[in-house]
Amino acid sequence: MNRIFKLLFRIILSVLAVLVSLIALLALSIPIDAWMNRSKVESLVSQTLSASGTNAVDVAAFVARPSTIAENTKYPAVIMVHEFWGLKESIVGKAQALADEGYIVVAPDAMRGNTTSWLPRAIWQTMRKERNEINTDLATTYAWLAQQDDVDPERIGIMGFCFGGSASMHYSLENPDIAATAIFYGSGLITEAEELKAFPGPVLGVFGATDQSIPVEEVNAFEAALTEVGIENQISIYPDKGHAFVQSMETIAEDPVQQKAWNELLTFLSKNL
């Protein structure tokens, strides 16, 4: 019996040692990944945004305009907020594609210089973000757009994917001048009708039916609450699709379902901006 007890004790110690080693390696991987991607965002942003009338810090961003800008014409504009990975090539591609449709698009660096393809770091940097900081950066982005000579300040919308979808939802509730909001599988949906009354314009929601992080019941409650308080909304749940199913413009071109979701966005923006 004593021998069995000692054997079990050794097994437990071995398992704990392995777990501690894995946790240590995981923790170490985050700064290593940060170092490896230290210049990535810098290669993606096209300019730094500053705006008078706000107390925000400058915001690095990728800015895309239509290929041809007509003189003395004011264009609708869209703020496009990235996923929890940070600013990446896929967002830059989608921002440029939207600009080709006739919008001025700004994809701000909401992670302030951080981007990754490593899931643990994506989770870590998202956990460290504060709502006030996100809203402050989006306020600067909005103010900068509103001050541009080629932007119609009454036709500025916001959209986002994953982390960006949630950020877009919360920022729209803080800014009464946002003309339209598009939420692609943003987590933490607000389902209290009284809170959603603050939405300043129509809402598009795109979700996947098999998304484990956003239950269909939560999406339905979000839609019901919007309808209850009279907020115009268009909520779509795509069968057999999970989280983050609208990826890059390359995959959108290849996948009819992704293309359908993207076209739904284009129709929504055309109608409301």
**pLDDT tens per residue, range 18-48:** 565 556 565 555 677 666 777 888 999 999 9
* Interstrand relation of 104-108 and 59-64 (parallel, antiparallel or unpaired): antiparallel
Whole-number pLDDT of residue 200: 97
The answer on pLDDT for 53 being more than 70 is no
Cα gap 89→129, rounded to integer Å: 22
Structure tokens at 263: 């076209």
User: Which of 96, 98, 108, 103 minimizes the C-alpha distance to 49?
Assistant: 108
List, for residues 132-148, the tens digit of each pLDDT value.
999 999 999 999 999 99
Per the model's pLDDT, the better-predicted residue between 26 and 262 turns out to be: 262
User: 54-68, 138-152, 206-220, 223-237 — which is least confidently predicted?
Assistant: 54-68
Whole-number pLDDT of residue 182: 98
Cα gap 8→57, rounded to integer Å: 57
Relative orientation angle of helices 163-172 and 131-146, to the nearest 10 degrees:
70
List, for residues 239-254, the tens digit of each pLDDT value.
999 999 999 999 999 9
Q: Residues 64-85: what's their mean pLDDT?
A: 94
Residue 37 CB burial class (10 angstroms; 0-12, 13-18, ≥19): middle
Q: How confident is the model at residue 232 (pLDDT cuts 50, 70, 90)?
A: very high
Mean pLDDT of the chain: 91
Whole-number pLDDT of residue 1: 57
pTM of structure: 0.91
Place of tokens 């001048």: 177
Whole-number pLDDT of residue 70: 85
Whole-number pLDDT of residue 108: 98
List, for residues 173-225, the tens digit of each pLDDT value.
999 999 999 999 999 999 999 999 999 999 999 999 999 999 999 999 999 99
- Of all helices (H) and strands (E), which one includes residue 207? strand 203-208
The answer on pLDDT for 15 being more than 80 is no
